[in-house]
Amino acid sequence: MNTNLDSIKVDRPEIITTDVDAISFYRKMDIKATVKDMIAGRYVIAEEFYSNGLLILGELKKRLSFKYTDKSFRGQREYRNAFRKASHRLLIKVKDNKLAVKKAPKVGWLELLYPDVSEFYVSFPDVQGMNSSWQWYEKGLEVKTLDITLKPYFGTYFPTRFDHLKLFDRYLKKYDGPKDNVIEIGVGSGILSFQLIQNGFDNIYATDSNKNAVIGVNEETKRLGYEDKITLNHGDLFENCDVNADLIVFNPPWIKAKHKLEEGIDKAMYYEEELFPRFFEQAAQHLKPDGKIVLIFSNLAQVVGEDSTNPIIEELRNNGRFRKDLHLTREVRASSRRTKREDNRKNEKVELWVLAPKKK
Ligand SMILES: C[S@@+](CC[C@H](N)C(=O)[O-])C[C@H]1O[C@@H](n2cnc3c(N)ncnc32)[C@H](O)[C@@H]1O
């Protein structure tokens, strides 16, 4: 089987390895003037203390919120875009894989993602992203349904609520079909594949279009001792896959994109119009005659006011390839007592769909 694990390179934040024409910011300097320059297009380097970078971002937020007063969805999107653009002009220096300022957090990704460069500049927001990802990676994500602590790799989707895993678990516990071959599309941080393994599937072909997901799950399978149970591949949907499966599992993105999708985590949340038609067409070619497709979905799009239709219902209604074998739903609970979900998400439900090919 074709797997391309050795040839893929990790996606990491962009860095600058040359000298930069920039203003060096120290605490006693005029922060307002510095931020004004940054908005006008100049690079700024946060020097001396990590908190200097935080101060600048705070001031930038304040200044832009005076300018972007339109509270409509569009107005707020313009504000976010302006913040994103200007904040990435704030740089911080990395030397010997560490942030070269005082009182900085230890960000292990600087070592793991940049073993080949010893000195460079990286944008402050990118460092914040790496820092938060590193905390999750270090601490691990405890998944009680699996009795596993996952270490989500940088730039990879991982769930923070587990209702869909409980639904999948319920399905797997009752599943009494053959367990010879299973394909998981969109492996993410590996959670569903590990759940399949714990339920007796030991020949899993797992794939993702996000390189970091594939690299991360490869690490995890070694750490958890699942190496010989999963074959990993980087690619779009069933690209490189020559397996015919008893089960095809996909927890796809749940919201239809209105923007052009970026590679990486964006594609874990949002889908392009053609994703589902392409998935179903290819799935039909990779399913054994008695095989099943298991899809995890949600009414999230409807709950947050998007007017999109459910692409699984569309497939069942329009194409005559599959019939509905099972449809389970479960209410989504708030992730903890402290983080109450906003009201408009209180009717959120996760769904598990099982589709079987129609007999000819
Ligand atoms: C919602 S996440 C699910 C991840 C994981 N299976 C889970 O349940 O936590 C969707 C995953 O599908 C991947 N994905 C999106 N479009 C894809 C495509 N065309 N081909 C392969 N994977 C894709 C994303 O990169 C992401 O990892």
Q: Please identify which residue in the block is written with the tokens 């393994």.
A: 197
**Is the pLDDT reported for residue 339 higher than 50?**
no
Q: Please identify which residue in the block is written with the tokens 């149970």.
A: 229
Residue 59: per-residue pLDDT: 96
Give, in degrees to the nearest 5, the angle at Cα 353 between 351 and 355: 170
> Which H or E element spans position 212?
helix 211-224
State the pLDDT confidence band at 299, using cuts at 50, 70 and 90: confident
| Local structure of 337: helix, strand or coil | coil
> Which H or E element spans position 80?
helix 73-87
Q: Are 301 and 254 in contact (CB under 8 A)?
A: yes
Q: Of 161, 164, 208, 247, which is best to mutate to test ligand 1, by the most ligand atoms within 8 angstroms of its C-beta?
A: 208
Q: Report the alpha-carbon distance of residue 268 to residue 213 in Å, rounded.
A: 10
Cα 174 to averaged position of ligand 1 atoms, centre (Å):
25
Q: Are 44 and 91 in contact (CB under 8 A)?
A: yes
Considering the chain, what is the average pLDDT of its residues?
Answer: 92
| Local structure of 342: helix, strand or coil | coil
Q: Report the alpha-carbon distance of residue 189 to residue 97 in Å, rounded.
A: 25
**Is the pLDDT reported for residue 195 higher than 70?**
yes
Cα 275 to averaged position of ligand 1 atoms, centre (Å):
11
For residue range 270-289, what is the model confidence (pLDDT) as tens digits? 999 999 999 999 999 999 99
Please tell me if the CB atom of residue 216 comes closer than 6 angstroms to any atom of ligand 1: no
Residue 125: per-residue pLDDT: 97
User: Between the CA of residue 252 and those of 186, 219, 275, what are the distances in Å?
Assistant: 7, 22, 9
Which residue ranges form the domains of the chain, and what is each CATH number? 7-137 (no CATH), 141-357 (3.40.50.150)
Residue 70: per-residue pLDDT: 85
**Is the pLDDT reported for residue 183 higher than 50?**
yes
Please tell me if the CB atom of residue 159 comes closer than 6 angstroms to any atom of ligand 1: yes
For residue range 102-156, what is the model confidence (pLDDT) as tens digits? 999 999 999 999 999 999 999 999 999 999 999 999 999 999 888 899 999 999 9
Residues 6+ apart with CB under 8 A from 131: 105, 107
Please tell me if the CB atom of residue 293 comes closer than 6 angstroms to any atom of ligand 1: no
For residue range 17-34, what is the model confidence (pLDDT) as tens digits? 988 999 999 998 999 999
Q: Report the alpha-carbon distance of residue 223 to residue 206 in Å, rounded.
A: 17
Residue 309: per-residue pLDDT: 86
For residue range 68-92, what is the model confidence (pLDDT) as tens digits? 888 887 888 889 999 999 999 999 9
Integer-rounded Cα radius of gyration of the chain = 23
Q: Report the alpha-carbon distance of residue 293 to residue 316 in Å, rounded.
A: 12
Cα 104 to averaged position of ligand 1 atoms, centre (Å):
33
Q: Are 216 and 150 in contact (CB under 8 A)?
A: no
* 218 bridge partner residues: none
Percent of the chain topping pLDDT 90:
77
